[in-house]
Chain A
């Protein structure tokens, strides 16, 4: 799983530009599924046929980034956010474009107000160019940069940018590979544009029209020094979502997930997230409504260049998903 996660987090794929990460995922799963399609929005939809319930599993491929909006005469790039980008998370961070070009994010310091007062429109990307002409040879308005990939392992934890939600993608891919037999018709959807408003999940859920949906995404934790209270810990098992700002998990889906975890002796925790949302927020409101739940991977420092997940949480997440899909689904 470590090598897989490393490959996935290293691949480029900000919201709206998911082509590279989609290719990586396609290559990982193509020998294990019956059908692979890419829809209008760019969602990758892999199908394993069966005659039971039609189940949609969703993990988003896209990651947050910064989009170039202006190139000044000195070769500095001004940018806008793609998804939730926080000022403290990006100051003096290295970012990379699809063509490999690397830059550092800086901010205007002339007004002496310090970084706390700065805003994205007072920040820039420094690619070391001397002039607009030089910069324009390497980058155009509309190009998007992401945190320069880096991957580390420490005390059973994996640390990298884009864990949100490549960790979820890894979990789905491992599930596809390990699943021996399932009575169900399974749609594994690697969605686009989650970070800008759950957009890929909305259109793919409409097309797939499943009987049940489960999104797999990272969630926050409350286990760091003086953290905002939240009853989710790193290493205490995958989290079964109760609610976030986008969805109240369907009671039967939630109960099914808990039941299978107990049966298989897999550690789990219940998750209540005060804000934020994930693909199930869009899936559960599709057409006449689709019973939906979320399997969450506890993750520290979400939306930073160094997001941290626990290896055993990932492993147990795969076990739980495999168990759910192998058994009867009664909702």
Chain B
């Protein structure tokens, strides 16, 4: 499972450009799923037929990650860029990116501190002060390898460290993708429709389309979510705590979790002795926001793996939370009765 997570996080798939990660996932689920298809917006949908009925349980994890799109090339050969999805500009300076399908290297540059005006030094770095340096001497040289519209993704290796911890980019939401791939190894009473969605980071777009054509009877969204259990944050503002198990959401900006599903999940966790927590943060949103409002409504719930520093090149996760999320979901789906 760790190896799978490494492959998934090291593949690129900025929103709207999910090809590379989709191909990787397709290879992983071939042989596990009974049907695999890609819909018109680009979601990869893997179906595992049910043993005893044709009710549909939709699982959703998004394939896409936050990143950048090249918006122009300056006369000096430096690249202008726009962010894709929510990125804190302060995390960018001196970070490496890989541009386009050929993965050309680049680095975020900014003028040195001693050259900055006093007010520039006192304020947080702004996106417009930065550029991507690809080592080109001129516009002409840069244009040979990069063109406006090319995507760039963080260049960050998957690194195990500490006690069962890992550092990687895009744990939000490749960890959800990894859990879903694992769940496809088993067969359940109902049809399991595992949906690897596109464009979550720019507005839950893939999930909206997928839920409409899948018409599920219920849905579980698997996420890598914020974890703010760090110095300088009051305990009541910890959105989740790393190592305390999968986080079940009561509410966020885009949905209120279905109460019976929350109850069923916690009952399974208690019965099987799987640690879990409730997500305290109520900001942010995810694919459940669109899925639960699809057509006449779909009972939906969100289960997340806590990840520190999401939307940066170095998010940090406890592998035990990942294993326990997979375990909780497996037990839940095994005993799940759909009403």
A residues lining the B interface (CB < 8 Å): 15-17, 39-41, 67, 69-70, 72, 78, 80-82, 121, 141-142, 193, 196-197, 199, 202-204, 206-207
The stretch from B9-17, B82-90, B111-119, B293-301 touching chain A is: B293-301
16 A-B contacts (beta carbon < 8 Å): A16-B251, A67-B282, A69-B281, A72-B235, A72-B236, A80-B281, A80-B282, A82-B251, A121-B236, A141-B278, A142-B251, A196-B251, A203-B295, A206-B295, A207-B295, A207-B296
CB of B244 within 8 Å of the partner chain: no
Known: A41-B292, A67-B251, A203-B293. 7 other contacts (CB 8 A): A40-B297, A67-B250, A70-B236, A78-B236, A80-B282, A203-B297, A206-B296
Q: What residues of B have a CB within 8 angstroms of the CB of A197 in the complex?
A: 254
Q: What residues of B have a CB within 8 angstroms of the CB of A67 in the complex?
A: 250-251, 282
Q: Are A15 and B256 within 8 A (Cβ)?
A: yes
Q: Which residue from chain A places its CB closest to the CB of B248 in the assembled complex?
A: A142
Q: Which residue from chain B places its CB closest to the CB of A77 in the assembled complex?
A: B236
Q: Are A39 and B280 within 8 A (Cβ)?
A: no
Main secondary structure of the interface of B (DSSP, over half): loop
What size tier do the contact residues of chain B reach?
Answer: 20 to 34
Q: Are B299 and A196 within 8 A (Cβ)?
A: no
Q: Which residue from chain B places its CB closest to the CB of A14 in the assembled complex?
A: B256
Q: Are B296 and A39 within 8 A (Cβ)?
A: yes
Q: Which of B288-317 contact A (CB under 8 A)?
A: 292-293, 295-299
Q: What residues of B have a CB within 8 angstroms of the CB of A141 in the complex?
A: 250, 278, 280
Q: Which of B262-303 contact A (CB under 8 A)?
A: 262, 278, 280-282, 292-293, 295-299
Q: What residues of B have a CB within 8 angstroms of the CB of A78 in the complex?
A: 236
- The answer, among A40, A70, A196, for a CB contact under 8 Å with B256, is A196
CB of B237 within 8 Å of the partner chain: yes
Closest-CB distance, B296 to chain A (whole angstroms)? 4
Whether A40 contacts B236 in the complex (CB less than 8 A), given A69-B282, A70-B280, comes out as no
Q: Kindly state the separation between the CA atoms of A256 and B254 in the bound complex, as whole angstroms.
A: 35
Q: Kindly state the separation between the CA atoms of A196 and B285 in the bound complex, as whole angstroms.
A: 13
Whether A39 contacts B235 in the complex (CB less than 8 A), given A16-B251, A82-B251, A193-B256, comes out as no
